[in-house]
Every structure is written in C-alpha cells, then in structure tokens.
Amino acid sequence: MRHTLATMLWWCQTATLLAAAVAAHAAGGEPAQFKNVRKTYDAASQVIWYVPQSAPEVVKSSAFYLYFGKGDRGKLTPLRLKAIYYGDQALQVRRYWANADGKQLISLPAGAWHIDSVVQVWEWLDEPVESARQIHDMLILAEAKNAVIYIKGKRNIRKFVLTKDQKRALRDVISAYQASGGSLSP
C-alpha cells in the first residue's frame, strides 16, 4: 500500500513537472523566471549567457548586476557579479562596498578592477559569487528600499544608488539561476 502511494505521488509530481515544461516550451521555451533576462550566445566559449535586461549592452553608466552562463552540455557557470564605474575621471578603484537601508554589507565578491578609457573612463569588476553569504547579501540589496554601491578610488569615493530595475534584476537572475539548476550554496 505504501509503495503504491509513493508510486502514485511520484507519477503526479512527474506529470506536474512535465506539464510545466510543456507550458514553458509553448510560451517561448523558458520558465517565467527568465522573462526579464536576456540571452546571448558566445560561440567562442560555447556558452549562453543570461544577463538581466537592465544590464547595459554598451557601457554608458555605472552598473551592478549578476549574470550566469550555460554551456552546450547544460553545465552552469558560477553566478557572477559585474560592477562597473563609469565617469570622466579614473578612480583607480581600491575597494567597493554596499549599503542596504543604511547597513553596510561586507560580503561581496573581491577581485581586481580593470580600467578602460577612450572618451569616458570605465572601471569594472567581474567575479564569481563564491559563497552563500554573498548571495544572501545580494538578496538583501535587492530587497532594500535604499541600496547604494560605494566605490573607493585612490583619491575619491563615488556612489550610485541602485534603481528599482537594478534591484529587480538581482532577484530575477538569482531566480533564473535556481530555475536552471544552479545552487545558491556554492
């Protein structure tokens, strides 16, 4: 009797998942978590990158967003953070941090900042999110009424406030990453 109930439950769950997959396929192939996420294929690395719609395709402003990729065989890349400072003077970034509703978040991915300048200057960080604590802090930023990113350079500190779209993008990418089978416990 117990085996029969377990088998029936398994079939019900399987049917539900199959129906959801068919509905997602009929609606354009992706689950609802992907509606605010842009896909781009990188032929050189054979990876489909999932980037929030609000992320800049051409750098014309500061930005702060998460993204991830999926290889041809379905293997996910780690969740990654891209932070960009854009301005008319180089900061020579030394460190950065975030405040969510006035509380400093200390667990953000660390790494080297890169610089590029032609007419305007932009410096960026592109690092994997390596801990559950970092993901937790990203979610705190996403839920904050006031989320501010501070970037400290050699001589100056610049700050920018995350917009509602940027905060929603953090949530959307984390959701899409989970829906793709990504673990939030790296």
More confident site: 124 or 15: 124
DSSP 18: H
Residue 29: what pLDDT?
63
**112 pLDDT tier (thresholds 50, 70, 90):** confident
Mean pLDDT of 10-38: 53
> In the structure, what pLDDT confidence band is assigned to residue 10 with cuts at 50, 70 and 90?
very low
In the predicted model, what is the mean pLDDT of the chain? Answer: 82
Q: What is the pLDDT of residue 186?
A: 54
Alpha carbon of residue 162 to chain centroid = 14
Task: Check pLDDT > 60 for residue 14.
Answer: no
pLDDT band at 31 (very low <50, low <70, confident <90, very high): confident
Which tops the pLDDT comparison, 10 or 129?
129
Burial code (b: 16+ CB inside 10 Å, e: under 16) for 27-66 equals: eeebbebbebbeeeeeeeeebebbbbebbeeeeeebbbbb
Q: What is the pLDDT of residues 46-88, one digit of tens each?
A: 999 999 998 888 888 889 999 999 998 889 999 999 999 988 8
* Entry pTM: 0.79
The HSE-up count of residue 10 (CA atoms within 13 Å, CB side) is: 6
Q: How far is CA 137 from CA 57, 124, 141, in A?
A: 25, 20, 6
Say which range, 16-30, 60-74, 133-147, 153-167, has the weakest mean pLDDT.
16-30
